[in-house]
Amino acid sequence: MLISELAELTGVSARALRHYEDCGLLTPARSGSGYRVYTESDVTRVAQIRTMISAGLGTSAIRRYLDCVRTGDHGTFLEMCPDLRAELDSLARRLDARQAELREKRSRLDRLTSAG
């Protein structure tokens, strides 16, 4: 399928799909005229990518994640690369930190609005 069809199937913009290729998350084949040609398995793959992006992962982490999954050199998903596991943990900590920071902001804003 071509890019617009994959875009419609996944609900992801064509620009985003091209961006995912730039980041190494997708490697579609090319037709004779240079058009990107996707497989049906790319639909699943894009869904996975969207899930991870919505979890806060950056494209580089996603790429390593997908590579780790594809090569399967670490068995199950639970046995991830140590550095990948460490990155996920550090991301969790950063999310917690940002959450606490947001709570602080929110309370400070309340104090500003009420006490002026």
Partner DNA sequence: GTAAGGGTTCACGCCGGCGTGAAGGTCAAG
Partner DNA sequence: CTTGACCTTCACGCCGGCGTGAACCCTTAC
Sequence-distant (≥ 6) Cβ neighbours of residue 88 within 8 angstroms: 57, 61, 80
Q: Which stretch binds its own copies (CB under 8 A): 17-25, 26-34, 37-45, 83-91?
A: 83-91
Contact track, its own copies, 37-66, x by CB under 8 A: --------------xx-xxxx---------
Interface with Zn ion (CB under 5 A), residue from 3, 25, 57, 68? 68
Tell me which of its own copies, DNA, Zn ion, none is bound by residue 38, counting a contact when its beta carbon lies within the kind-specific cut-off of 5 to 8 angstroms: none
Distance separating alpha carbons of residues 60 and 106, to the nearest angstrom: 32
Q: What are phi and psi of 72, to 5 degrees?
A: 65, 25
Do 14 and 3 form a contact (C-beta atoms < 8 A)? yes
Q: Three-state SS for 37?
A: strand
Q: Where does this chain bind its own copies (CB under 8 A)?
A: 51-52, 54-57, 76-78, 80, 85, 88-89, 91-92, 95-96, 98-99, 102-106, 108-116
Q: Where does this chain bind Zn ion (CB under 5 A)?
A: 68, 74, 81
